[in-house]
Structure 1
Amino acid sequence: MANAKILLIEDDLTYSKIIKNFLEKNEYEVDQTAKINEAFLMLDKKSYDLIITDYRLPDGTGMEVLENVVHNKKNTRVILITNYSDIRTAVRSMKLGAIEYITKPINPDELLTTVNEALKSPPTRGVPEDQAPKAEKTVKSSSKSQVNDAYVVGKSPESLQLEQYISLVAPTEMSVVVLGESGTGKEFISKRIHEKSKRSSGPFVAIDCGSLSKELAGSELFGHVKGAFTGALDNKTGHFEMANGGTIFLDEIGNLSYEVQIKLLRAIQERKIRKIGGTKDIPIDVRIIVATNEDLSNAAKNGEFREDLYHRLNEFSLKSTPLRERGEDLFHYAAIFLKDANQSLGKEILGFSDDVKEIFNTYSWPGNLRELKNIIKRAVLLTTDDYIHKESLPVDLLLPENSSSQKSNTNDLKSSFEVQEKAMIIKTLNEVKHNKSKAAKILNIDRKTLYNKIEKYGID
C-alpha cells in the first residue's frame, strides 16, 4: 500500500529510530511515540493504516493498544512486537485481532514482509450489525482474528484418538468442553465438530470470552435494545442470536462473570435469550461448544464457576494435547507449515537441517502450533539455502534455557514445561516487585490463575 500511514509505539528510542528510518526508506509514512497515552491521543487526531507496537511499554502493554483498536478503529491493523519470553501473549494477540506478531531482534527483511502482508490483509474484525448471520457460514466476533487454515488431522495416537472422539460427538446435540493450552487448536477442533455435525449448513460463531469486558459481555452475547444503557444508541444483535441454527463457540469460558453465567445457564435450559433492556424472550436453536485452559471442575468446586452451568456444558469433553507431548505430529505439522510458507513467500525450501530438527525436538513449544507456524514462516523468509539451518531461527530458541532437556533432570516433558512456567512467574514477580495484579497482566493470565500457580509451585 503506497504511502501507507504507520504509527510506531516503541520505548527504546534507538530501536524506534532504526525501524522508522527503515520503513520510511521503503516509502511508508511513519509517526512514532514511546507511550500508550500519547498513542491514543495521536489516534484521535489522525487515521493510521497500521500500528506496530511493542508489548512492554512504560505506561502499559501493547495489548491495551490492540484492544482499543479492535473496538474503536476498525480500519487499522496491528502488529505486536514481543520478546520470545512473551510468546503466549503473542499467540493471544492473534486471537484478539492482531494481524501478526514479530519477535525481537527484528530482521529488516522479516519486518518489511510482515508489514507488506499486514497492509494487504482485511482490517475489519467484526461483523456489521446489518448483515444477517444466515448469509455467513462462519461468523467471527470482533475479538477473534480471521483464520483461514484448514483443519489437519495429526498422526500421533493422541491426535487420532481426538479425531475419533470428534467423529463420535459431532452428529449429536451434546454440549462439548474442549480443554487445552493456548495455541493447541481448540477453535479448530470446535469448528471441526460443527462441520461434521447436522448443523454444518448453519453459522459457526466464535467468541473469545477473555476479551469481553464485564460491562459489555452480556450485550455482546445476548444483544441489547436501544437506550438500555449509556452508549446503546441502537438495537444490537447478540452472538447467540447470530448463531441461531448453528454452533456458538465460547473460548476462555472461565472468564465470564457470575451474572453472565446465570444468563448463559438460562439460555441453555430454556433455549431462550432476552436482550439487555428487553422485555421479550427470543427463542434460539444453538449448539454450545466451550473451551478453556483452566480446570473448570476445580473452579466449580471452589465456587469460582457455577457448578450447575459446568455440568450443563460438560456433557462431553475433549483434550487438545500440547505439541510437546504429540511426538510425530511435530514434523507432520512442520512439513505442512513449510509448504504453506513456501507458497506464501514464493520460496522452494526443501526441509530442515539435522541441527534444526534437534532444536525442534528439544524445545518445549509453549505457543504450540501457532508458534511453530510463525517460526517456520520466519525461517523460510530468511533461508537462502535448500534447507533451513539454525541461523534462521530466533536467537532465543537457541538458548540452553529454552531446551526442555536443560530445564529438568527428568524426561517428563510436562515437568519440563512446568519448570519453565515456574521460572517465568518468578522472574515476572521479581520484575514488578511482587505486585500480583501487574504480574498477572504481564503474564496474560487473570489473578485467580496466578494465585493458583503460585500455590502450585510453592512460590514465596
Structure 2
Amino acid sequence: MLKAKILICDDEEGIRRYLQKMFQAKEFEVETFADGTSLLARIEAGTDGDADILLQDVRMPDMDGIEVLKRVKKLRPSLPVVVMTAFGTIDSAVDAIKLGAYDYVTKPFPREKILGVIDNALELDLLMKENKALKEELARPDTPDNIIFTSAKFREVYELTLQVAGSDANILILGESGTGKELIAGAVHYNSPRRGRRFLSINCAALSDTLLESQLFGHVRGAFTGAITTQKGLLEEADGGTLFLDEIGDVSAAVQAKLLRVIQERDFIPVGATKAKNVDIRFVAATNKDLAKEVREGRFREDLYYRLNVITINLPPLRERTEDIIPLAEHFLQKYSRRVRKELKGISPEAAQVLQAYHWPGNVRELENVVERAAILARGEFVTPDVLPMYRQAAGAPAPIAPPKEDRLISLEVIEKEHIERVLHQTGWHKSRSAEILGISRKTLDRKIVEYALTLPGGVPADDE
C-alpha cells in the first residue's frame, strides 16, 4: 500500500479511533476530525499538510456531508475523497460520486475493503499527478534548454534544426559519439507541431535483437517465455509524437525490415499478435557510422536508408567548434556545482587553456564528465588545471591525436580506431568508462576491440565492469 497522509472526518469517535489505528499500522500519517467545520477550517487555512486523501462520512452533525464535499472540492479539486455511508443512505453516496468523490464504502465495512479502496484511490491520484507533470513538461517550448553554443559552425546546425522541425519529414542525424545527437533530436520535436505529444528515444546498440524488438513493437501475453502480461512498445507509446532511434547503424537486418514496414505502412504488429496497429510517428534516427558506406557494403538496407534520410543534419565534433568549449564547460560547471553543493565561480584562465588545447575524442559528453569531476575535486572557488585529468595525465600515456592534416587523407575507420584506442588508454582500459565516453554500449565496444585488433598494453589491468 502507498504511504501517504489521510484525513478522516466522522462524528463517531469509535469509527475515528478504529480507522486511525488501522491506517497508522500501515504507516499512514493520520489526522482526524469530528465535524465538517473543523475539517474545512484546516483545509481553508492550508494547514492540512498537503493531505493525499480524505475519508469522510456522508452524515455530519453540524453540516451535511454533501455540502462538506462540495466545499472540499472547491478548495482542493484534486484531493481524492472516499465517502462512508450507512446502508440506508446509498442515494447520498451516489450523489457524492456525481460531485467528484472517488468512491464510497458502506458501514460496517470489512478492513480489507476500506484498505483496498484507499489504495486504489491513491494509485489513481499518483498516476494523474504524473500525467499532469508529463503534459506540463511536454508543453514547455524550451524543454531542450541546454543547447549551448557560440560558434558559427554549430549555429548553422541549430538554424537548420529549427528550419526542418516544422515539417513532418524523417531526419537522420550524423556525427561522432558525444556530439549531442539526442539533444538535437529533442530540439526537432519540441519545435515541431508534435511538441504536445511524447518524445521517446531508444539506444538500438544497447539491446539484443529480441529485446530491441520487444521494446519497439511491444508484445502480447504469452508471446515468449516470461511474457506474463501484455506490454505496449515504444511505437505505440510514441503515437502522435516523435521516436528517436539512436545508433540506428547497429540494427540487425531483421529489425531493419520491420522498421521499414512501420515507416512505409504506418502500422506494426506486436510480438505474438496477429492484428496490426496503426501509428502516426515522426522518426529521427542517429548514428556515428557512415550509413552510405554501410548501404554500399550490404550491411544496411538501402530503402530504409532513404526513408530515414529525408533530411540530414551533420553535427561537427567539438574539436571543430573550439569556441564552444568554454561556454559549455561553464554551463556544466553551474549544473554540477549545485549538485555537489559548492559555490564555484568559474574556470581559471590556466584551466580554460588546458580545456581548449585538448582534442576531445569523446566530444561534449567527455567535456561534461571532465567538468563534473572537476566540480567534485575543486578545492577553491575556481576550477584549476590540477583537477583536470588531461593535465594530470601520466607521462607514459599516449599523446593526444592531432587533427588530420590536409595531406593526411585517412578513412573514418582509422579515425575511429585511433579514437577508441586513445580513450581506452586514458581510462586504463576501463571498458565501461570508455564506452560511456565514446557514447556506445559495452557490447559495441567489445566488438570494436576485436574488429580493430586492439591489444591491452603490458602491465595495465583490464576492467570487466
Which TM-score band applies after superposition, normalised by the shorter structure?
0.5 to 0.7
Equivalent residue number for residue 445 of structure 2? 445
CA contact (8 A) 1:177 1:316 kept: yes
3-state SS in 1 of match to 2:167: coil
Question: 1:156 pairs with 136, 145, 151, which one?
Answer: 151
* Aligned AA (1:152): I
- Give the superposition deviation at 1:426: 10
Q: Which moved more, 1:412-421 or 1:214-223?
A: 412-421
- CA RMSD between the two structures: 3.8
Contact 2:173 2:315 in 1 (8 A): yes
Of residues 145, 163, 171, the one that matches 1:168 is: 163
| Alignment equivalent of 2:355, drawn from 360, 371, 379 | 360
Q: Does 1:192 align with 2:192?
A: no
Q: Any idea what the Cα deviations from partners look like across 1:163-186, whole Å, max 9, x if unmatched? A: 111011100011001111221111
Offset of residue 286 of structure 1: 0.4
Decide which of 316, 332, 341 is 2:336's aligned counterpart.
Answer: 341
Which consecutive residues of structure 2, in runs of 5 or more, have no partner in the other structure?
1-126, 138-142, 430-439, 455-465
CA 1:375–1:283 in structure 2 vs 1: closer, same or farther (change >3 Å)? Answer: same
Question: How far off is 1:446 after superposition?
Answer: 6.5
Could you tell me how far 1:390 is from its partner in structure 2?
1.7
Tell me how far apart the structure 1 counterparts of residues 182 and 376 of structure 2 sit (CA, whole Å). 28
Contact residue 178 and residue 290 of structure 1 kept, 8 A: yes
- Give the C-alpha shift of residue 377 in structure 1: 2.3
Whether 2:288 is the aligned partner of 1:290: answer: no
Change (3 A) 1:160 1:397: farther
Superposed CA deviations along residues 186-221 of structure 1, whole A, max 9, x for unmatched, are 111101100000000000011111112112222111
1:323–1:271 Cα change, 3 Å: same
String of CA shifts for 1:352-396, please: whole Å, max 9, x gaps. Answer: 233322221221212222221222222222222232212222367
Residues 153, 159 of structure 1: 8 Å contact kept: no
Aligned-pair identity (%): 37
Match of residue 208, structure 1, among 176, 180, 203: 203
- Alpha carbons 2:398, 2:422 under 8 Å: kept: no
Which consecutive unaligned segments of at least 5 residues does structure 1 have? 1-128, 140-147, 432-439, 456-460
Q: CA deviation at 1:310?
A: 0.5
Which residue among 244, 247, 251 is the counterpart of 1:252? 247
Instruction: Name the SS of the counterpart of 2:303 in structure 1.
Output: helix
Report the AA paired with residue 243 of structure 1: A
Structure 2 CA distance for aligned equivalents of residues 264 and 202 of structure 1: 21
Q: Note the 1:98-247 alignment, pairs <5 A.
A: 136=134, 150-247=145-242
Code of the residue aligned with 1:344 in structure 2: it is R
Question: Equivalent residue for 1:386?
Answer: 381
CA distance in 1, matches of 2:132, 2:267: 18
Q: After TM superposition, give the deviation of residue 338 of structure 1 in Å.
A: 1.7
Aligned equivalent of 2:419? 421
Cα 1:443–1:279 shift into 2, 3 Å: closer
Question: How many pairs align?
Answer: 309
Secondary structure of the 1:317 match is strand
The one-letter amino acid paired with 2:445 is I
| d(CA) in 2 for partners of 1:302, 1:391 | 47
Instruction: Answer whether contact 1:138 1:205 (CA < 8 A) is retained.
Output: no
Note closer, same or farther for the CA distance 1:205–1:137 as it changes in structure 2 (3 Å cut). Answer: farther
Rg: which structure is higher? Answer: 2
